[in-house]
Structure 1
Amino acid sequence: MPITTKSVCVIGAGAAGLAAARHSLKAGLDVRIFEQTAQIGGTWVYSEEKGCHSSMYYEMKTNLPKEVMAYRDFPFDSSLPSFLDHRDVLEYLQKYSDGLSIDFNTTVESVTRIEEEEKWKIIVQNGLGTFDYYFDIVFVCNGHYFRPNNPYENSEFEGNLIHSHDYRHAEEFSNQKVIIIGAGPSGIDIGLQIAKTAKEIHLISKKAVYNSLPENIQQTSEHVEKVTKSGVKTVSGQEFEADSIIVCTGYHYQFPFFDSTVVRLLEDAHVVSPIFEHVVHVDYPKSLFFIGLNLEKAEIPAREELEGYEERQMSHQSSRGLAKRFYHLLQHDQWSYLDRISKLGQFESWKYMKTIEKITEYLQDRRKLDVKNYKMINFRFLDEEQLEYEIIEEENQ
């Protein structure tokens, strides 16, 4: 009896989807990629349009260097600086996607399990109509930077209030008083950009403790209690007025093609459940994945281990002082996590992972000391295996 090649559906042609597709093809599987937009790249596709899929702004450099971001078997152009313009990342992904067959402008409407056939039924819609397909394996790679978490969208503020999802140009805030709520990577990056055009900026967040900021950025390290008609009021009672407010409070997860019997979104859509090791669906550990790392080489853990993961992870995050909504936040734990995933997937060990860890940890410390200039650093490798490197600092222009 002939062996039938298993079929794979990849939802999304961003960085994760392209990697899932390439590794699936390498494993000898039949692959079909559905992408709802007109091109590959996901979050790296810039658009002047607001309220669309894109969260990219016009002038954006990566907050991680190319030495950390590259696919293992596909390096970036060595002539590029370590911190890349978003256009360079998109070009890199376009080159990586060469040879892949992708259904563009195709939206996945639903993903349902057909138990008697051990298949996933995928309903898609495109310009020609609605179509049904059946697959053995599904990789969910639709990203999570397109549904803004904006707790202030229905506030009484009388000025201009946007989420960072819709920020595009610093010139839009020329000569304005601006409040930025949230001081994570987007908040501080946007703050540094609009400092060149805005009159005054208030960066308000518990994370607002940066050194060496421009003189027109003031930091208030506390939470916002409410957005008022003229600005914001903090939990301590301080009030600030503004012409514009930019909300940089992250994103919700969203999987509109699943119903709640398959995937549950908990903690105001910040936690995806039930997922083992942030990747494998507990009920379908051989066929439903949320990053695309497991290609059936991995031995499936016992049911008790799969089901107990969420409780163990919640307890672990609590011991780190994190609220439940930060369930998927790994931070320094990412290195032990990647090691576990590598062993589970039976991937060949890669010494360069230690280099990635060293570079990342160095930059985290450097960013705290000099958030204005850390992206001027370049890394140059001193050996063929890229295990030793030197740090070169450019002068900020």
Structure 2
Amino acid sequence: MIPKKICIIGAGAAGLITAKHAITQGHKVTIFEQTDGVGGTWVYSEETGCHSSMYKIMKTNLPKEAMLFQDEPFRDDLPSFMSHEDVLEYLEEFSKFFLIQFNITVTQVTREKDQWKVVCKSEAAEFSDLFDVVFVCNGHFFEPLNPYENCGFQGELIHSHDYRRAEHYEGKNVVIVGAGPSGIDITLQVAQTAKKVTLISKKATYPVLPASVRQVATHVKIVYPKGVITDDNEHIEADVIIVCTGYVFKFPFLDSSLVQLKYEGLMVSPLYEHLCHVDYPTSLFFIGLPLGTITFPLFEVQAKYCLSLLSGRGKLPSQETIKNFEDTRLQTLSNPAAFHIIIEEQWEYMKNLSKMGNFEEWGYMETIRKLYSYIMTERKKNVIGYKMVNFELLPESNDFRVVDI
């Protein structure tokens, strides 16, 4: 195998695990990170309007037993559901021997003959270099999707991206729009300080929530100066509206002639398997686009498959299959905005990448699958208490035991 000159954009979890395997395989790797440290979305900042979406008090939605890199366990003394500080420490320790160029922003990636020209800027200067391969690992939780911007609300309206701590909402009437992981976390925190919390979402049907929380299982139709109007025409007044409606993809360094963002920024195109650029399937890769997944282990499988294509071990299907991937998938979806959501499909997705990449599946993945299934079930039944346990692994049976804290 001829070593490749590889550019990795971003030093979050996706970029770091890609770097590890690329370096191990003998490639020449350059990592550009626009902030002054590793960790991406796991870096907490009191500032708002910045890259960080982390709030002050946050436990992971997945346990350490299900969000580790292969051969890189979390510390034994950590609880199963960790703080964001614990995850950041893990990534810092994992990357301590990597050479990373910090405070460097990639401003443009273009094709020049048979290479990629990557233009960067620092505080001091602008510079460029040529690479054989580019891995885009710039994350997904920094460009908020907020359908209620500029709506004329007279109170405080923020996206969950800028939520930091519950004390700010003491004694207020708070409407929270969206009941995904962030929406629920923020609801439970704000309920401890706010006068009243109204959670509005089709998913707002949890059997147990604090007494100060009212669930409204519908959509917000309009935000007006004093609050919101639901699809059922109920007027709900609020001092604060917190919008937990997710994020859009954004690649400011890629021209729209190369990559298009479809369905209001929720689909990245044209890609094969959410991963390989259709026109450059062996040199332009996007790690970490799938949503609703176990993240770290999935990032690693994606990175290993891409690198298998560089070594010649991995295989691609026919060009026709590659080009038809998006249309074929869209035909199976009722909502095209859910293109990258692969909650139930993720296990088969990783198996297929392992098979096409001609590398061994991680045997522990079956335990992760069982853990994930258990957690999703428990979360629906007891969203307040499902994190109040630890897990003990049972290696002989690829299973686990639940231990109350």
Q: Does 1:390 align with 2:401?
A: yes
Q: Residue 195 of structure 1 contacts residue 217 of structure 1 at CA under 8 Å; is this kept in 2?
A: yes
Q: Does 1:15 align with 2:37?
A: no
Shift of 1:5: 2.7
Q: In the alignment, which residue of structure 1 is the partner of 2:331? A: 315
Q: Distance in 2 between matches of 1:328 and 1:184?
A: 16
Q: In the alignment, which residue of structure 2 is the partner of 1:139? A: 135
Q: In the alignment, which residue of structure 2 is the partner of 1:34? A: 32
Question: Percent identical across equivalent pairs?
Answer: 50
Q: Residue 31 of structure 2 contacts residue 99 of structure 2 at CA under 8 Å; is this kept in 1?
A: yes
Q: Distance in 1 between matches of 2:214 and 2:391?
A: 32
Give the secondary-structure state (helix, strand or coil) at the position aligned to 2:139.
Answer: coil
Q: Residue 51 of structure 2 contacts residue 142 of structure 2 at CA under 8 Å; is this kept in 1?
A: yes
Highest RCO, 1 vs 2 (Cα 8 Å, sep ≥ 6): 2
* One-letter identity of the residue aligned with 2:121: Q
Aligned length: 385
Q: Does 1:328 align with 2:353?
A: no
* One-letter identity of the residue aligned with 1:55: S
Q: In the alignment, which residue of structure 1 is the partner of 2:299? A: none
Q: Distance in 2 between matches of 1:145 and 1:307?
A: 28
Q: Does 1:127 align with 2:123?
A: yes
Per-residue Cα deviation, 1:348-382 (whole angstroms, up to 9, x for no partner): 12221111100000110100000000011211113
* One-letter identity of the residue aligned with 2:339: Y
Q: Distance in 1 between matches of 2:144 and 2:96?
A: 31
Pairing of 1:45-194 with structure 2 (within 5 A): 45-115=43-113, 118-194=114-190
Q: Which runs of 5+ in 2 are unaligned?
A: 288-302
Q: Distance in 2 between matches of 1:392 and 1:344?
A: 38
Per-residue Cα deviation, 1:270-320 (whole angstroms, up to 9, x for no partner): 0000111111111001101101341123112110010010011111223xx
Q: Distance in 1 between matches of 2:5 and 2:286?
A: 16
Q: Residue 351 of structure 2 contacts residue 361 of structure 2 at CA under 8 Å; is this kept in 1?
A: no
Q: Distance in 1 between matches of 2:216 and 2:201?
A: 6
Q: Distance in 2 between matches of 1:203 and 1:212?
A: 13
After TM superposition, the runs of 4+ consecutive aligned structure 1 residues lying more than 4 A away are none
Give the secondary-structure state (helix, strand or coil) at the position aligned to 1:152.
Answer: coil
Q: In the alignment, which residue of structure 1 is the partner of 2:212? A: 216
Which of 211, 234, 250 is equivalent to 2:230? Answer: 234
Q: Distance in 2 between matches of 1:326 and 1:69?
A: 23
Q: Which runs of 5+ in 1 are unaligned?
A: none
Q: Residue 148 of structure 1 contacts residue 250 of structure 1 at CA under 8 Å; is this kept in 2?
A: yes
Q: Does 1:363 align with 2:368?
A: no
Q: Distance in 2 between matches of 1:312 and 1:78?
A: 44
Q: Residue 352 of structure 1 contacts residue 386 of structure 1 at CA under 8 Å; is this kept in 2?
A: no
Per-residue Cα deviation, 1:308-342 (whole angstroms, up to 9, x for no partner): 10011111223xxxx11110001111111111112
Q: Distance in 1 between matches of 2:161 and 2:259?
A: 25
Q: Distance in 1 between matches of 2:14 and 2:394?
A: 30
Q: Distance in 1 between matches of 2:398 and 2:2?
A: 42
Q: Distance in 1 between matches of 2:331 and 2:277?
A: 20
* One-letter identity of the residue aligned with 2:347: W
Per-residue Cα deviation, 1:88-127 (whole angstroms, up to 9, x for no partner): 0000000000110000000000000112xx1000000002
Q: Distance in 1 between matches of 2:28 and 2:368?
A: 32
Per-residue Cα deviation, 1:27-58 (whole angstroms, up to 9, x for no partner): 11000000000000000000000000000000
Q: Distance in 2 between matches of 1:344 and 1:260?
A: 29
TM-score, normalising length from structure 2?
A: 0.93
Q: Distance in 2 between matches of 1:5 and 1:235?
A: 57
Q: In the alignment, which residue of structure 1 is the partner of 2:364? A: 352
Q: Does 1:290 align with 2:286?
A: yes
Shift of 1:388: 2.7
* One-letter identity of the residue aligned with 1:288: L
Q: Does 1:376 align with 2:392?
A: no
TM-score, normalising length from structure 1?
A: 0.95
Q: Does 1:304 align with 2:304?
A: no
Give the secondary-structure state (helix, strand or coil) at the position aligned to 1:348.
Answer: coil
* One-letter identity of the residue aligned with 1:356: I
Q: Distance in 1 between matches of 2:394 and 2:370?
A: 15
Shift of 1:146: 0.5
Shift of 1:4: 5.5
Give the secondary-structure state (helix, strand or coil) at the position aligned to 2:387.
Answer: helix
Q: Distance in 2 between matches of 1:68 and 1:386?
A: 16
Q: Distance in 2 between matches of 1:336 and 1:371?
A: 27
